[in-house]
Amino acid sequence: MGTDRKTKRVYASIRRLLQKMSEKDQVMVLSLVVGVFCGLASVVLKVSIEWIHHILTSWFDGDFDYNFLYLLYPGIGMLLSMLFVRYVIKDNIGHGVTKVLLAVSKNESRIRPHNMWSSIVASSVTIGFGGSVGAEAPIVYTGAAIGSNIGRKMGLSYKNITILLGCGAAGAVAGIFKAPLAGVLFTLEILLFNISMSSILPLLLSTVSATVVSYLFLGDSLPFECTLSPFTMRNIPFYMLLGLFCAVCSVYFTRTTLWIEDRIRSWEGPFKRWFISAACLGLLIFLFPPLYGEGYDSLSVLLNGGEITFENRTILGFFMDTPWTVPLFFLLILLLKVFSMSFTNAGGGVGGTFGPTLFVGAVAGFVLARTVNLVLAGTGMSVPEQNSVLVGMAGLMAGVMQAPMTAIFLIAEISGGYDLLVPLILTSTISFGATRIVEQYSIYTKRIAKKGELLTHDSDQAVLTLLKTSDLIETDFTPVKIDATLGELVEAVSDSTRNIFPVLDARKHFQGYVSLEDIRKDMFKKDMYDTMHVYNYMKSSPAYVYIDEKMDSVMKKFEKTDAWNLPVVDHYRTYLGFVSKSKIFSAYRNQLKEVSHD
C-alpha cells in the first residue's frame, strides 16, 4: 500500500510538471521516456530468449541423439506459455500487431497495463524453448502498451495517447532491430492511419532513444551482419523474378497461416489443441532443425555464404548429398515454416509472424538463387546468393505485411546493405504490387478488415470506423402503443419535444412511427379522439439500424433511403431509440478533430 501511494505521488508530481508545458511539449518529453522504456523492454526480451535457449541447448555436442529433445522442448515452452496466459494473465495476448490495430480502432488506444510485461514473459518462454515464431510482434505490443499507459497516466487526450502508442510501437521495432528509421516507417505504414508531419518528430525521438538503449546494452553489431556482392545491372531481371516469387510466397504465407490457425482454434479444449500442435511442431523441428526458434542462426549461414550441412542434425541429412536436393530441402523448409509457426501460435504459444516472414523471405531468396545458379552452371553466369537472401527478406515483408517502405529500410538498416537499395526497392515494389492484386489486406489486417474494424489511411473511412452506433442513439422520443387512440397520441405529443413517435407493440418491438405532420389535420378534432387509432396514421420505417452495426453500413442506409432519422433496434427488433444524420455529422466533425494530429 505504501509503495502504491508513493507511485501515485510520483505520477501526480510528474503530471503537475508536464501540465506547465504546452500539449506538444508534453508529447515530446514523453516520447523520449517511452523510447527509453521500449529500448529496455527490447533488451530484456532478447536477453531472456537467448538465456533460455542457452540453458537448454548449450550442452549439445552435435550428436544426433540429442535432436530427440527437439521433439519435447517446443511443446514444453508452449505449455508453460499457455498456462501463464490462461491462469495468470487471463487475457488473449497473441497476434500483438493486430491487437494494437484493434486498440486504436475500437478501444480509444487503450491497452491493458499487464501488456507492458506479459508478452515479454510469454514470448520469451515460447521462443526460448524453440517455438517457431518471432519476438517482434510481442515487443511491438509491449511498446504500444507502454506508450498507451504512460499517456493515460499523464491524462492525455485520445489523440496524444494514440501518438504515444505509435511511439511505443516504433521504439519497440527500433530497439529490437537497432533500426530507428524502420521503426518510424513501421508505425506510419502499418499502425497509425492518419498522422501529420508535425507528429513524426515524437516518433523519431522515441526510435532514436530506443536504439541508443539497445546499443548500450547489446553492443554495436548489426542484427544481420552479412557478406554481400556489389550490385550489377545485369542482375535486374533476376530481382524482378525474385519479386514475383516473393509475391507468390506472400499469398501462400498469409492464407495458409490464417487457415491453419482458424482450423486448430475450432477444436474444443485448449489442452487438446496444445497436445496436437506440440506433437506436430516437435516432429517438424526434429526433421527440419532450422525451424527451431526464430531460425536466425540458419539465416546467418545463408547471408554469409557458409557451408550448408545438416549432417548429424537430422535423419534427412542424407537428402542433401546432391546439388539439386539442397534447394529442394530448403523449399520444404519454406513451405513448412508456415505450419510450424501456426502450430506454435494456435497451440498456446505467444509469438508473431514478423520473424517468420524474414525467415521465409530469406529462404525464398536462397532457393531461387541456388536454382538459377544450378540452371546456369557451366555458362559462366550466376547470381549472388547472399544478396538474394537479403533482398528476399524485404520482398516477403513487402508482400505479407504490405509495407514496402518498412521492408526496404529495415533490411538495409539491420544488415548495412545500403548498396543494395536498388534491388531492395525493385523486389519489394514488385512483391507488394503483385500481392496486392490478389490480397487486399496484410496478414495483420485481413481478419479485422472482414469485421469492419480496420482503420485506414482514408480519413473518412477511418472516422466512420471509430464512430459507434451505440454512442449516437437518441432516446428522448416518446413511444406510443400501436392500438392507442388518437386522444392518447395527442397527449403524448403535448408531453414530447420531438416530432416523431415510435410505435411499439406489447413486447416493445418496433412496428413503425407516426410523425407530427401525419396527425396535424386531425389532432384538434376531439370527436375523432376515440375512433381513430395510432395504426391509422402509422408508417413503416424504410430501414432499421442495429445496435452493433458498423457506421459505414448505417450511412449507406441513410443514402439509400434518403431518411433523416432511422430507428435503432436489437436483433429481436426491440426498440432502443433513433439515430439521426445530424447527430452522425456532428459526431463525425468532433471525431475528425480528435484523430487529426496537426
Q: Express each pLDDT in 365-380 by its tens digit.
A: 999 999 999 998 878 7
**Listed residues 430, 456, 482: the one ending a domain:** 456
Residues 188-193: what's their mean pLDDT?
A: 76
Task: Say if residues 393 and 237 touch (Cβ distance below 8 Å).
Answer: no
Instruction: Spell out a b/e string for 342-367, using b for 16 or more CB atoms within 10 Å of the CB, else e.
Output: bbbbbbbbbbbbbbbbbbbbbbbbbb
401-437 pLDDT tens trace: 999 999 999 999 998 888 899 999 999 999 999 999 9
- Contact partners, residue 322, CB within 8 Å, separation at least 6: none
Q: What percent of the chain has pLDDT over 90?
A: 39
Residues 13-35: what's their mean pLDDT?
A: 79
Answer yes or no: do 440 and 476 share one domain. no
294: domain CATH number is 1.10.3080.10
Answer yes or no: do 488 and 438 share one domain. no
**Listed residues 406, 437, 456: the one ending a domain:** 456
- What are the DSSP calls for 278-347, one per residue? HHHHHHHHHH-GGGSTT-HHHHHHHHTT-----TTT-TTGGGGSSTTHHHHHHHHHHHHHHHHHHHHHHT
477-491 pLDDT tens trace: 888 898 888 888 888
Residues 252-256: what's their mean pLDDT?
A: 95
Bridge partners, 401 (sequence order): none
Q: What is the 3-state secondary structure (H, E, C) of 481-537?
A: ECCCEHHHHHHHHHHCCCCEEEEECCCCEEEEEEEHHHHCCCCCCHHHCCCCEHHHH
What's phi and psi for 513, nearest 5 deg? -150, 160
Is there a domain that residue 225 lies in?
no
What's phi and psi for 480, nearest 5 deg? -130, 155
> Total domain count for the chain?
3
Least confident interval from 195-199, 493-497, 512-516, 567-571? 195-199
Is there a domain that residue 223 lies in?
no
Answer yes or no: do 301 and 424 share one domain. yes
Answer yes or no: do 475 and 582 share one domain. yes
Answer yes or no: do 434 and 479 share one domain. no
Answer yes or no: do 291 and 416 share one domain. yes
pLDDT-derived band of residue 320, with 50, 70 and 90 as boundaries?
low
Distance CA 371, CA 367 (A): 6
Query: Residue 433: exposed, middle, or buried by beta-carbon count in 10 A (0-12, 13-18, 19+)?
Result: middle
C-alpha cell at 506: 406489447
Name the pTM for this structure. 0.79
**Listed residues 404, 429, 456: the one ending a domain:** 456
Answer yes or no: do 362 and 481 share one domain. no
Residue 391 to residues 176, 235, 361, 524: CA-CA distances in angstroms? 20, 12, 8, 81
Best CA proximity match to 370, nearest among 387, 393, 395: 387
Answer yes or no: do 452 and 480 share one domain. no
Task: Say if residues 370 and 326 touch (Cβ distance below 8 Å).
Answer: yes
Distance CA 503, CA 161 (A): 43
Res 47: pLDDT: 94
Query: Residue 61: exposed, middle, or buried by beta-carbon count in 10 A (0-12, 13-18, 19+)?
Result: exposed
Bridge partners, 352 (sequence order): 134
Res 337: pLDDT: 95
555-569 pLDDT tens trace: 888 888 888 888 998
End-to-end CA distance of the chain: 41
Number of neighbours of residue 216 by Cβ within 10 angstroms? 12
50-68 pLDDT tens trace: 999 888 877 665 554 446 7
Cα torsion at 382, 243, 254, 249 (round to 10°)? -30
Answer yes or no: do 410 and 271 share one domain. yes
What's phi and psi for 44, nearest 5 deg? -60, -45
Is the pLDDT reported for residue 598 higher than 50?
Answer: no
Task: Say if residues 68 and 289 touch (Cβ distance below 8 Å).
Answer: no
Is there a domain that residue 224 lies in?
no
Res 37: pLDDT: 96
C-alpha cell at 176: 529490437
**Domain residue limits at 386:** 233-456
Distance CA 94, CA 295 (A): 20
Is there a domain that residue 447 lies in?
yes
- Contact partners, residue 263, CB within 8 Å, separation at least 6: none
